[in-house]
Structure 1
Amino acid sequence: MAKTRHQQIRHNTTLAIFIAIILLQDFVPFFGNIPLGPLSITTLHVTVIIAAIVLGPVDGAIIGGIWGLLTWVRAFVAPSSPLAPLVFVNPLVSVVPRIMIGILAGYTFILMCRLVKAKYIAAVSAAIVGTLTNTGLVLGFIYLFYRTPAVAQTYGVNVNHLLIALETVMATNGLAELILAIIIVPMVALPVLEVRRRLEVN
């Protein structure tokens, strides 16, 4: 069903707000990326997942893509961690996983809403899928393309132990990001969805 002019304006305004939030998170120190050793714990994935739930998979992918482009640019001009200039200069590592967060989280929410009829469960499921998509793809691509001494050194290991180091990151940083998403995504996304529903009804 085609959107009315007012619905399209509200949609574009909401999209612009999410873009502004992503920009703010990326540029304000310790707001979107918290440096921790060779990596940085991110909170931006939460915003992408919320956008995917509220606006849908396509707009979630747009928000994720903007984050990815910012990550790619920062890898050249203002790296967020010692690892960034080594791996995030590759768009496959910096951009593609961020886009996939929006797509997979958005479609997970839609599917789970149809299967379980409970938006809270659907939002938690989207949070889990979106977070694991980001962490899994980034670390997977690092192992696939960057099994090098320089990258391994940023983790404090040699190349032979890089996989173990990446698995440790998945179990520590990844777990922290997952818990953060599970708590915040339903808390923010569901009320915003309800407000949008009421506005559309009125």
Structure 2
Amino acid sequence: MNKRRSSAYQISVIGLLVALLLLQTFVPMFGYIRILPGVAITTMHLTVITAAIILGPKYGALMGFIWGCISLTVAWVMPNDPLSILLFRNPIIAIVPRVLCGLFAGLIAYGSFKTAVKRLPGWRMAIAGVGGALTNTIFVIAGAWLFYASSAAKLVGHGANTANLGFVMIALLGVNALTEAITAGVLTPLIGRALQSVRRK
């Protein structure tokens, strides 16, 4: 693939995925499936991970940054619950886990910061999907514990306090994290294969 065609492909994929992120944000039950107050299963990580395995870690991080900025904006403009207001109005919690989600997914897939240029085997896409999904969840929990242990504990409930907040959130979000990781592991190779086939044409 020549350089001009490659650049056009990258721009097209990024544009498509940014549009998808916006749809996932504003179409109910598309990007966030709420199961408890403050707890939702997201599909937005799939979009970020897809960018990482198709275009490489740098583009994965870029898409994660865009997702984080959307999360930050929504938390200020149209928040869904008190816990989201508390956590995602903090730029570090809103943006950093999302950037790391895309970055780590790309690094897992390619093992370096290079731009993706080769066809990945499905199992590497699956591992990258699982790794990216878990990265986002783990760093959101870590941010909540680091910045808002006392305040978040009151909102989380279920016996949470300053000392055990992280463990309570891990327990509450366990099904959430597992579902997101399995979904990413299954769907990422399917989406990735489809986009790679378009790239080769």
TM-score normalised by length of structure 1 = 0.88
- Alignment partner of 1:190 out of 186, 189, 193: 193
1:177 and 2:180 aligned: yes
1:167 aligns with 2:170: yes
Per the alignment, residue 71 of structure 1 pairs with 71
CA displacement, residues 25-54 of structure 1 (integer Å, 9 cap, x when unaligned): 111111101122222211100111011101
* Structure 1 residue 194 displacement after superposition: 2.6
2:130 corresponds to? 128
* Aligned-partner residue type, residue 181 of structure 2: L
The alignment partner of 2:62 has SS state of helix
Give the distance between the partners of 1:6 and 1:35, measured in 2 at CA: 40
Residue 108 (structure 1) aligns with: 108
Following superposition, the deviation at residue 77 of structure 1 comes to 1.2
Show the 5 A alignment for 1:134-153.
Answer: 134-148=136-150, 150-153=151-154
Superimposed CA distance per residue, residues 54-84 of structure 1 (whole angstroms, 9 cap, x where no aligned partner) = 1111111111111100101111111133311
Aligned to 1:44: 44
C-alpha RMSD of the superposition: 1.9
Deviation (angstroms), 1:104: 0.8
Q: Alpha-carbon deviations, 1:92-117, whole Å to 9, x = none?
A: 111011011111101111139xxxx9
- Report if aligned partners of 2:131, 2:181 keep a CA contact under 8 Å in 1: no
One-letter code of the match for 1:195?
Answer: V
1:55/1:118 Cα in 2 relative to 1: closer, same or farther (>3 Å)?
A: closer
What is the number of residues matched between the two proteins? Answer: 192
Contact 1:57-1:103 at 8 Å conserved across structures: yes
Match of 1:31 in 2: 30
Gaps of 5+ in 2: 113-118
2:92 corresponds to: 92
CA gap of 1:9–1:144, structure 2 versus 1, over 3 A, is same
TM-score, with structure 2 as normaliser: 0.88
Change (3 A) 1:87 1:11: same
Q: Whole-Å Cα distance in 1 between the matches of residues 185 and 166 of structure 2?
A: 26
Answer with 28-37 or 4-13: which moved more: 4-13
Distance 2:131 2:122 in 1: 14
1:146 deviation in Å?
Answer: 0.9
User: Quick one: structure 1 residues 194 and 162, their matched pair in 2 at CA, closer, same or farther if it must change by over 3 Å?
Assistant: same
| CA distance in 2: counterparts of 1:94 and 1:51, whole angstroms | 19
Equivalent residue for 1:20? 19
Percent of paired sites with the same residue: 35
